[in-house]
Amino acid sequence: MDSSKKAGTRHTASGTVDPFVGDPAWAPTPRRVKVRAPGKINAFFRVGPLREDGYHGVASTYLAVSLYEEVAITTKPGTPATDITVSISPESSLDAELLASIPLDASNLAVRAALLVADISENPCGVHIEITKHVPIAGGMGGGSADAAAALVACDSLWHTGLSWEELSQLGSELGADVPFALLGGAAVGLGIGDQLTAALAPTPLHWVLVPADYGLSTPVVYGTLDKLRASSGAEVAEPGEVEAGVLAALRAGDAHALAPWLHNDLQAAAVSLAPGLADVLAQGEGAGALASLVSGSGPTVAFLAVDAAHAEDLAAALTANGHEAWAVEGPVHGAHIVL
């Protein structure tokens, strides 16, 4: 951490440092910060063999899209930092049954994120976390990771911890491989277990249609199913070391037609094996004119690539007419950022 931004100091306009830690006059009333963080799709996803540490190496191209989680955190002055409560906002757009499955205890990723920041802050206090859910739950789009990223940013702001993006990312990697990307946003290549990020050039937004499912898929179960499918087929799988150059070239050019043939997800076969109805969704989107389609991450959300914004709206309308919920989105978009 930069010593000039040490937690417990406030930098004033005159350049002096005003100590406020322990000052009962500072922040006598609750403070509130709201952070927005995006969901993601994996435009390209290679998965290596199961490693001895229980993880799989990956080579992924992440794309942050305009479907956001919102996390509002309010301080509870005078309470210990372990006094963390969490609730789900009634403004959430997801199915009530799925919302009811979200843990509201210390296992919630946003709570864990707040505790991580509290551990290195000089004057933390208890907080209440309110999460407005829009990214599908257990949908392969990193919704929980977005919540964690938003909580890291919010608590850093509330407690004046002064963490850099790199420091926040390091904390995020303790919570899950997708958390650093939810902080970064944009487009990126992810190696290792997905947490070794390199930003990718993608100056022109691409347009997509997302079709969520009314159920979730467990990421560990999807990976385990992939391992079983590979074992049964005798497939020899190498450790992935890079993404295809064609993916990155298409993103740099902002060319949906060029990107279409490169869309790939090694986990798709496993997701479809667990949820066979996904095959029908994929076929319907392609039949409705999508340039290409794939299951996002571990699924079951399906992403369809469109030519432009108008095509995405038309494609979403066609899928809605077929009885699906369909959302037109674009990406890349910014990572976790304060909105209030």
**Catalytic sites, residue numbers:** 40, 178
By C-alpha distance, which of 41, 290, 294, 338 is closest to 186? 41
> Residues with Cβ < 8 Å from 18, sequence gap 6 or more?
9, 10, 11, 12
> Residues with Cβ < 8 Å from 197, sequence gap 6 or more?
62, 169, 180, 181, 184, 188, 189, 190
Q: How far apart are CA 210 and CA 278, in angstroms?
A: 13
**Secondary structure of residue 174 in the 3-state scheme:** coil
**Secondary structure of residue 316 in the 3-state scheme:** helix
Residue with tokens 């038309």: 314
Q: How far apart are CA 211 and CA 199, in angstroms?
A: 27
By C-alpha distance, which of 337, 328, 251, 204 is closest to 42? 251
Residue with tokens 């000089």: 122
Crossing angle between the packed helical segments 109-119 and 143-158, to the nearest 10 degrees: 30
For the chain, give percent helix, strand, coil, nearest 5. 35, 25, 40
Q: What angle do CA 259, 265, 267 make, to 5 degrees?
A: 170
Q: Which two tokens stand for residue 232?
A: 């049964």
